[in-house]
Every structure is written in C-alpha cells, then in structure tokens.
Amino acid sequence: MASSPTSQREAKVRPKPVAGFAHRHLLDLDVLSREDIERILHDAAGFKDVFTRTVKKLPTLRGKTVVNLFFENSTRTRTSFELAAKRLSADVLNFAVSTSSVAKGESLLDTVRTIRALGADVIVMRHGSAGTPHLLAERLPNLSIINAGDGCHAHPTQGLLDMFTILEKRERIEGLQVVILGDILHSRVARSNIWGLRTMGAKVRVVGPKTLIPRGIEAMGVEVCHDLREGLQDADVINILRIQRERMTQNFFPSIREYTLLYGLTEERLRQWAKPDALVMHPGPINRGIEIGQAVADGPQSTIEEQVTNGVAVRMAVLYLLCGGSE
Ligand code: CP
C-alpha cells in the first residue's frame, strides 16, 4: 500500500529503532527472537540499577512523548509505564477514556490520530478487544504502539517482566520447568508467557480444569495437566493466574469454592506437592483465598511484589529500545 506524503515525511523525521532492535512496536512476544528478548532483559537490568540511586531519573527520552491510552482498568501496568517514562524524562500523558470525546462517539482511530497530532511518539494501549493495538500499528505506522493487554490475546510486557524476575532469581530460563496455573483460556498473560518462555528454552506446563484450557494449546509447545498435585511436582516456577470472571460468558466450573478446592494453591499444597525452592509468581491483581492462599501470596517463595518493581525496569527498557534512545 502506497504511503501518503505526510506519512513519508513523518517516517523521515521520526527516530528509527536502535541497531540490534529492529522493531517499532511491541505487540506480542511471538515476533521477538531470543536475541531481542535477551536485549530487553539485559537493558532492563541496567535500568534497575538506577532504582538504588538517590536521583532515579535519566535524560534518555527527553523530548519524547508517551501517551497511556487505557480502555480497560489497570493498576500495575498503567502506573509502571507512567513511572518508567518519567524516569527516562519523557513527557507523559495519561488519557482518561471515560472523560474524553470517546464518550461522544469519536472513533478509536480518530482519537489516536488526535493524540498523534499533539506530538505523541509512543502509545501504550490497553483494550478489551484482541487485535486493537495491531490495528493501530497497521494504520498509524509512524507511532510506536505498545500492547499493554488486548482482550484475552497478549500482554507482552507482563511476559517480559515475568522472565526478568525468573532470570534474576534463577540466573537462567533455559531448561526450567514453568507451570502456569489457572484460567489459561481467558489469560493474555498466559499466552505471552508461553511465547516468551518457549523462545527462551523453558519447558511450560499449563495446569487447570479442562474448561479453562484452550483446545489445541499443545501446538504452542506446552504440556497440559488437569491435576494440581501432578502438575506441581517438578516445577521450578509456578505462575498463578486469576479467574477472569469479567471475561466469562458462561459457567466454566460449578462454583468458586469448588475451583479453590481443586486448584487453589494453599500453603499446605505448596509445601507438600512442590519443590521447596519453587518460585511462586502472580501477575496480579490477586484474589486471596481463591487461586492463591494468603500465606502463599505473602510467603518467602512469592515474587509478587518484585514482579511489580521489575515491571518498571522492563518497561523502561522497552520504551528506550522502541524510541531509539541510544541514537
Ligand atoms: N498484571 C496486570 O496487568 O495488572 P494490571 O491490570 O493492574 O495492570
């Protein structure tokens, strides 16, 4: 498709991605090579070092504008992208969808074109419909689009920060047995984790009720197990997912109580059925007493709060690489 004179001019003045990271957008992890993922995790480690300094700010993205455009609720992702951009000295706009002209019927594309006209370089987008960030990347190629979660499809920066946390704790990802436990069917975190972990050489097993595991998921290179005790046996990492009731259009199990009885990770089950040093991860938000017991969430094996901290470093690395910060 021929590009317009405006987009040709914009393409010349906008920064190109840095050498060694040839991506303008981050839409999911399936398009990243192992070298790409290693580059992001390596740069994230460098940015994390900055957190211990008195002045936690770098001038790297001075003059760039990052816009957070969230059509779905978020605590961790939105705030950590804001913090990451601010720590790199970018200007940050948090677009409040509910009080914007979207409420008057303005389309998504017109909304984003308006934001682009204000001088945005990067749009961080969360949307309830799978594929929305991909549509924007296709239609507005001069912007960098970061997928901060699209429906049940993908959440690439969550996958990256989970891998960063594993690497920090275990010094490798290759060969580790990672268990993803819970509502795989509705989880964008599960899909991005599987793509990333498989690319990095981990073994992945999904554990949960038949109704919450997508048919044919074995094609992604994962093992499927429906029994919690069996599924936990040799796990180095247990990544627990929330039951996403807001995305369920039918009953996938008889009751929450029964789900917890069969698949809830209690302190006793963790002690009896898993390796003593297995990492317990959760992307949040957590439902204490449902998919994860109180003592497990707050216990010594839990990395839940470290994942949140690492999210800032990983998002700094992603913004830096997509904005061509090192040029
Ligand atoms: N893990 C995650 O995406 O959390 P938020 O929905 O709070 O951003």
- CA-CA distance, 80 to 118, in Å (whole number)? 23
Structure tokens at 239: 């990544």
- CA-CA distance, 246 to 243, in Å (whole number)? 9
| Nearest ligand 1 atom to alpha carbon 149 | 3
Mean of the per-residue pLDDT values of the chain: 92
Task: Kindly state which CATH superfamily the domain 20-155+308-322 is placed in.
Answer: Aspartate/ornithine carbamoyltransferase (3.40.50.1370)
CA of 145 to the centre of ligand 1 (A): 18
- Is the pLDDT assigned to residue 123 strictly greater than 50? yes
Is ligand 1 within 6 A of the CB of residue 79?
no
Q: Does domain 156-304 have CATH number 3.40.50.1370?
A: yes
Closest by CA position to 279, among listed 172, 160, 181, 165: 165
Determine the Cα angle at 315 with ends 136 and 49, to 5°.
165
Closest by CA position to 146, among listed 325, 320, 306, 327: 320
Strand ranges (DSSP E) for 49-90? 65-70
Structure tokens at 30: 């399936």
pTM: 0.92
Between residues 256 and 161, which one has the greater pLDDT?
161
Structure tokens at 64: 């760039």
Within 153-216, where are the H helices?
Answer: 156-170, 188-199
Residue nearest to atom 7 of ligand 1 (CA): 75
pLDDT at residue number 324: 79
Is ligand 1 within 6 A of the CB of residue 76?
yes
pLDDT tens digits, one per residue of 47-73: 999 999 999 999 999 999 999 999 999
Write down the domain spans for the chain. 20-155+308-322, 156-304
pLDDT at residue number 196: 98
Within this chain, domains 20-155+308-322 and 156-304 share the same CATH topology: yes
pLDDT at residue number 19: 55
pLDDT confidence tier of residue 274, bands split at 50, 70 and 90: very high
**Residue of 68, 73, 76, 241 to test ligand 1 pocket, by largest number of atoms within 8 Å of CB:** 76
Residue nearest to atom 4 of ligand 1 (CA): 76
Task: Determine what percent of the chain is predicted with pLDDT higher than 70.
Answer: 92
- CA-CA distance, 26 to 17, in Å (whole number)? 12
**Residue of 69, 70, 73, 75 to test ligand 1 pocket, by largest number of atoms within 8 Å of CB:** 75
Please report where in the chains the tokens 């006209």 appear, as a residue: 117
pLDDT at residue number 91: 97
Residue nearest to atom 6 of ligand 1 (CA): 74
Is ligand 1 within 6 A of the CB of residue 325?
no
pLDDT at residue number 31: 96
Give the sheet arrangement for strand 203-207, strand by strand: 223-225, 203-207, 177-181, 237-240, 279-281
CA of 72 to the centre of ligand 1 (A): 10
Which of 18-27, 97-106, 110-119, 205-214 is least confident? Answer: 18-27
Calculate mean pLDDT across residues 272-279.
98
Residue nearest to atom 3 of ligand 1 (CA): 77
Decide the pairing of beta strands 223-225 and 177-181.
unpaired
- Is the pLDDT assigned to residue 4 strictly greater than 60? no
